[in-house]
Amino acid sequence: MVKIIFARHGQSEANLAGVLAGRRGANPLTAAGRQQACAAADLLPSSIALWKVSEVARCAETADLLMRTHAKNHDSAVPAAAVMGEFSEVDYGDWSGRPLEELRRLPEWERVQNTPQDMVFPGGEAQHDAWLRTRQGVEKVLDELRERNSEAVAVVVTHGDIIKMAVADALGLQLQNFQRTAVAPGSLTTIDYASRVPVLTALSVTPAGRTGQASTLGGGA
């Protein structure tokens, strides 16, 4: 039972405003986003071996709420989460901070959705590079879990596109197919790596039953 539970950060102010936040600027969780994080903690298993988190502030805020609520639920000490740059948000470069409706009108939007392996965000990162570092991050976490025991679980608090890339890789899909899933804010996605072939056991689960949005970056607001 070597599992990774990928937690997407709760709704942020940028999510609510329909803005692509990326890595730039202050972007705290909304009241709804904080509630989503606390509620998601109730769905986590009692024993978690590792907590990992993106360096971006909205993920750190989400991780803190998840860990504190989980510790309270199980009458345990609040753990610490290790920051991993591999799970940082895609660097959207000059697209960061711009309204999604504006970005959807750009000619590059079709490339983002249909041929992401060819997309390099202006002033930012290639989607292929984000894909590669996500795969590297997963392997590092799995190495740590397997060193502990055969029934270890990790929670990785990260971003929608990163989770979608991890899911696509686990399912044996290429990068160009990663947009075929959507991951809601405050949701949990579980991949079981115990056998030779990874198995997706849960996708975008939220206590409120909210689903991700198709055809958008990250998985919607």
Q: Which of 3-12, 34-43, 88-97, 145-154 has the lowest mean pLDDT?
A: 145-154
Q: Which domain holds residue 80?
A: 2-205
Ordered DSSP codes for 105-125: TSTHHHHHHH-GGG-B-TTS-
User: What is the per-residue pLDDT for 150?
Assistant: 66
Residue 220 lies in a domain: no
Predicted structure pTM score: 0.94
Residue 180 lies in a domain: yes
Is it the case that residue 49 has pLDDT exceeding 80? yes
Total number of domains in the chain: 1
Q: Buried b / exposed e across 154-173, counting CB within 10 Å, b at 16+?
A: bbbbbbbbbbbbbbbbbbee
User: What is the per-residue pLDDT for 79?
Assistant: 95
Residue 192 lies in a domain: yes
CATH code of 147's domain: 3.40.50.1240
Please give the radius of gyration of the chain, using alpha carbons only, rounded to the nearest integer.
16
Residue 198 pLDDT grade (very low, low, confident, very high; cuts 50, 70, 90): very high
